[in-house]
Chains A and B, each alone.
Chain A
Amino acid sequence: MTLNYSKKVIQNFQNPKNLGEIKNADGIGKVGNPVCGDVMWLYIKVEKNDKGKEIIKDIKFKTFGCAAAIATSSMITQLAKGKTIEEAEKISKSDVAESLQGLPPIKMHCSNLSSDALRAAIKDYKSKKKK
C-alpha cells in the first residue's frame, strides 16, 4: 500500500464498517474541504439507554479521501457506537490513530478528521434538541 499503513488501516480501508447515511439522523457532522483532499460526513442516531443516558445508537459515514481518511472514518464509527454522548465527545484524534495501530505522520492531521466530524455531529444533535 502507498505509505506504510498498518494492517488495521488497510483492513478498515478495504472493508469499512458502518458505511452509508442515516435517513432522519439526529445529528450530522460535516468536516473537511475537498481542496485539501478529505471530506467526512458523519451521521448519528441518539437514543436513551435503560439508565436514561443518551447513547449513540447508530452511526454511519460518507468520506471523500485517501485510504487513511476512509480508515479513520470507519474506526470512529466503531469506537463511538453504543457510547454515551459524554464518552463519545472525548474520543480524540490519537484514540483513533492508536486503534488503527498508528497513522503515517504525514496523515495525522489531514486525514484524521473523524473525531472532529463526530464532535460536529454531536453539536448538531444538541442544537437541534434545543429547538
Chain B
Amino acid sequence: MKTIYFDNAATTRVDDEVLKTMLPYFTENYGNASSIHFKGQEAKDAMEKSRKIIAKALGAKTEEIIFTSGGTESNNLALKGLFFWNKENNTGKDHIITTKIEHDCILNTCKWLERQGAKVTYLDVDEEGFVDLNQLEKSITDKTIVVSIIHGNNEIGTIQDMEKIGNICRKKGVLFHTDACQSFTKTFLDVKKQNLDLVTLNSHKIHGPKGVGALYIREGIKIVPLMHGGGHERKIRSGTENVSGIVGFGKAVDIANKKNVEKMIKLRDKLIEGILKIPKTRLNGAKEKRLCNNINVSFSNIEGESISGYLETHGICTSTGSACASHSLETSHVLKAIGLPPVQSNSTLRISISKYTTEEEVDYFLKVLPGIVEKLRRMSPIK
C-alpha cells in the first residue's frame, strides 16, 4: 500500500538534496567547528554558511543566529534566558505575556517559570485563533519582559499579524518573541519589518533533519544560557555544534521557495473545499491568514482518532485535533481557546501537507474520506 503522508506539521521527509549535502559532514568533514586546524575550519565554514543563509531568510545579521537542538530548546532558551537575565540583574521585571494557543514547550516553560517567581499572562484568542490586540496592549506593564506569540499555529494554522503585534511591543518598550517553527519559509517573516527581537526556528518541519534548530536574538539583547560549558555559539549555547544537522538545516532553508508554497496553497484549498462538502463539518482556524499546509476540520458526532484510524487502513497518515491519541486524554488547549466545545474538539482531524503532496493523493483522500465519515456516523449513537 502506498503511503500518503498528511502529517507534515508533525515532521517532514528530509529532502534528498538536503541529505546529500549533509552526508560528507559525517565521514569526511567530521571536524569539530571549534578546532583551530583545517578539519575544524572546514566544519566551521560550512556552519557559518548555513548561519548566513538562515539569517538572510529572516532579514537578520549572521551573528544574530544561535544554533540549538530544535524548537523546544529555542523556546526554552528564549523565555528562561530572558527571565533569568532579568532576575540576575535585579531589573525588577518578572512578567511574561503569551497566549492560550502556544505549543506545549512555551506553555510548560511558562508554567515552570511561574513556579520560579514569574508572572505570566495568557492572552485570549478569537474564534479564528487571532490574538486580542487590545488585551495585549492593556496587559503590558513596566514589569513586562517579553511578549511571546506563536506565528503560525501548529494545530489550526492561524497566522498572527506580526506587524501589528511588533508595533505594539516596540511602542511599549517590551521584547517580542515568536515561535516560527511552523511558519518559517512558508509565509513572510522579517525581523526588521515585524519588529521581532527573538525568533524560534527549526529544521525538521521544512525537510531538514531532526535535532537542529535556531534562535534569532537581536543584537544587544542579553539572555543567560541554559547550557554552560565551552562557550559555543557566542556563549549562549555551549556544546559541540551539530555540524551535519546545521548544514542540512541551511540547505533546507536555501531550497525552500515560493513556488512550493503556492502549490501547497492550491492543494490545501482543494482539500478544504472537498472536505467541507461532507455534511456537518467545520473548518477550524483562520480562513484567510492560514499556513499553506494546514487543514483542521471537525466532523460532528464521530471521533477524530477513529477517522484517523480508518484513514490509516488506506495508508493515509493524519493526526487528531485532540491529544487523546498521543500522550494524554485531555482535549486540545488550542481548540478550547477558540471556543470549540469538547465534543467537537474530540471530533477533529488535522491534515498537514508538504511540497511532496500530489494532486492524486489529494483526490484519493477526498475519495475515501466521505465513506469513512458515513461509516462512523452510522456507528455513532450521537445524532
Contacts and interface: CB of A to CB of B under 8 A. Distances in A.
A34 B309 contact: no
A64 B312 contact: no
B343 interface: yes
A64 B303 contact: yes
A37 B306 contact: no
A91 interface: no
B296 interface: no
A2 B309 contact: yes
Interface in A1-23: 1-3, 13-14, 16, 19
Interface in A36-90: 36-41, 62-67, 69-70
A67 B306 CA distance: 5
Nearest to A32: B381
B303 A62 contact: no
Interface in B137-160: none
B379 A19 contact: yes
Given A30-B381, A62-B380, A67-B309, A37 B324 contact: yes
B313 A14 contact: yes
A19 B377 CA distance: 12
A117 B312 CA distance: 28
Interface string B310-352: 1011000000101011100101000000000011001000000
B379 A70 contact: yes
Contacts of B302: 64
B303 A37 contact: yes
Contacts of A37: 303, 322, 324, 329, 331, 346
A66 B382 contact: no
Interface residues of B, number: 25
B99 interface: no
Interface residues of A, number: 26
Nearest to B344: A34
A66 B310 CA distance: 10
A66 B309 contact: yes
A30 B381 CA distance: 9
Given A2-B312, A66-B305, A34 B325 contact: no
Contacts of A62: 379-381
Among B301, B324, B343, B378, the one with the most A-chain Cβ atoms within 10 Å of its Cβ is B324
A39 B302 CA distance: 10
B343 A34 contact: yes
Contact of A16 (B303, B379, B381): B379
B379 A3 contact: no
A20 to B, nearest CB: 8
A41 B329 contact: no
B257 to A, nearest CB: 33
A67 B324 CA distance: 11
B381 A63 contact: yes
Contacts of B308: 2
Contacts of B343: 34-35
A11 to B, nearest CB: 11
Nearest to B301: A64
Interface string B356-383: 0000000000000000000000111110
Among A38, A41, A66, the one with the most B-chain Cβ atoms within 10 Å of its Cβ is A66
A110 B329 contact: yes
Among B301, B305, B310, B342, the one with the most A-chain Cβ atoms within 10 Å of its Cβ is B305
Interface string B256-290: 00000000000000000000000000000000000
Contacts of B320: 2
Contacts of B331: 37
B324 A66 contact: yes
Among A14, A38, A64, the one with the most B-chain Cβ atoms within 10 Å of its Cβ is A64
12 contacts: A2-B305, A13-B306, A34-B343, A36-B329, A37-B329, A62-B379, A63-B379, A64-B301, A66-B306, A66-B325, A67-B306, A70-B306
Given A2-B326, A37-B346, A66-B306, 18 more contacts: A1-B309, A2-B309, A14-B313, A34-B342, A34-B346, A35-B342, A39-B382, A62-B380, A63-B381, A64-B302, A64-B379, A64-B380, A64-B382, A66-B303, A66-B305, A66-B325, A67-B305, A106-B329
Interface of B: 301-303, 305-306, 308-310, 312-313, 320, 322, 324-326, 329, 331, 342-343, 346, 378-382
